[in-house]
Amino acid sequence: MPLRRRFRTAALLATALAASVLVGAAASAAPLRATVENGTTPTACAEEDNVSLVLRGEGIRRLRIEALQPSYLDSIGNDVTAPDFSGCNFDGGEHPTDPAHRFEPRTVVLLDNAQWRIVGMTLASFWRPQRVPVRVGTVSDRGFHLLQVFRKENGKALEALVLYPSDGYWRIKPLPEARFGDGVYGSSFLLGPVEQAGRPVVDIASIRIVPKPLSIHLRFARGGSAVANVEEISRERTALDVRFSAPTREARPFAVLRSMYVTPDNADVSEVRWQATPDAPSVATPLPEVKTLEGTEFRFGRSVPSKHNTSAPDIFFGGFDSANPREAKAR
């Protein structure tokens, strides 16, 4: 083959190869979709988690979870945070259907620097007996019922994230508006291979927290792991970039949002705002009307101010994609 023709052929092949790489990259970058199934049951008790919104998906290795200020925040003057047991069959003590395992209470400061304060707490009573080993930086402990993460602002420690290692529940919130004191949590969520044990749980084998940049590494009891990188804690949001060590499978939920709904104005979540695709319009569906939704992002929250946990944040799930497995590997 003449030299010039060889060069022309090589150039055409290179162009075709570059185009195929770009197409492949575009295809791999296309956002994945998740399914939300509504397992909510009726209740008159504002202190009971009767909302279960179950997230499933195939091939998801990465997602983003955010706690966002409710859209009506600027319009409210009174933040109602007191518990309401008026419709409940318990009065703030242990739930009558829960086991009660007894422990020696203790509180341990695991990290305290200019940016973060991390505290571990063992409660006097908890509904599960599991102990989960925890390591924060170079400090190790046999385990706690509660891990608290505080962000320092002008020397003041403001709580923005809690994790219950024994059953896998998370709660996150943005830094509060100054007029609302410490702010308040609302909905909680599970992250990882969800199982049923009287209620949805995730069994965690161990937890390791890396202080800089802040990341929470989870190893699951049934295998696999995840890393939750704390991307932002601000007045606007608290955001987690989550990476799984293995792709999710449709058969098992990878997350569950747990919350409370009695009426639209007495709820920690009363609607789901969602998008079917990135280009589709955002749709707000009242919680009682939700059966199954499929989309690329979901915001579980409220448009109507609630008389329960009024300033509690909305919780967003989105950014579902298949990340490089080396990126998702929990160290």
Average pLDDT score over residue span 143-149? 96
Q: Measured between alpha carbons, how far is 310 from 75 in angstroms, rounded to an integer? A: 11
For residue 296 the two structure tokens come to 């690329």
- Chain-wide mean pLDDT for the chain? 89
User: Which strands sit side by side in the sheet containing 283-286, from one edge to the other?
Assistant: 139-141, 134-136, 204-210, 215-220, 225-233, 237-244, 62-68, 314-321, 297-301, 271-275, 283-286
Output the pLDDT for position 92. 66
Tokens of 138: 């170079």
Question: Among 1-5, 51-55, 147-151, 233-237, which stretch is predicted with the lowest mean pLDDT?
Answer: 1-5
Place of tokens 């590494």: 217
Residue 49's pLDDT is 94
| 8 Å CB contact between 312 and 184 | yes
Higher-pLDDT residue of 16, 127: 127
End-to-end CA distance of the chain: 53
User: Is the pLDDT reported for residue 127 higher than 70?
Assistant: yes
Q: What is the structure's pLDDT at 93?
A: 66
* Coil, helix or strand at residue 19: helix
- How does DSSP classify residue 227? E
Domain range summary for the chain, segments of one domain joined by +:
32-90+99-328
**What's the rounded mean pLDDT across residues 260-288?**
97
Q: CA 213 to CA 208: how far, in whole Å?
A: 13
| pLDDT at 17 > cutoff 80 | no
- CA pair distance 210, 301, nearest whole angstrom: 30
Q: Is the pLDDT of residue 102 over 80?
A: yes
Least confident segment among 35-39, 46-50, 181-185: 181-185
Q: What is the pLDDT of residues 286-303, one digit of tens each?
A: 999 999 999 999 999 999
Reduce the DSSP state of residue 328 to 3 states and report it: helix
Looking at the predicted structure, is the pLDDT value of residue 112 above 50? yes
Pick from 252, 317, 196: which is nearest to 57 by CA? 252
The pLDDT score that the predictor gives to residue 48 is: 92
Name the β-bridge partners of 151. 116, 158
Q: What tens digit of pLDDT does each residue of 185-215 get?
A: 999 999 999 999 989 999 999 999 999 999 9
Q: Are 122 and 148 in contact (CB under 8 A)?
A: no
Is the separation of the CB atoms in 222 and 152 below 8 Å?
A: no
Predicted TM-score of the model (pTM): 0.88
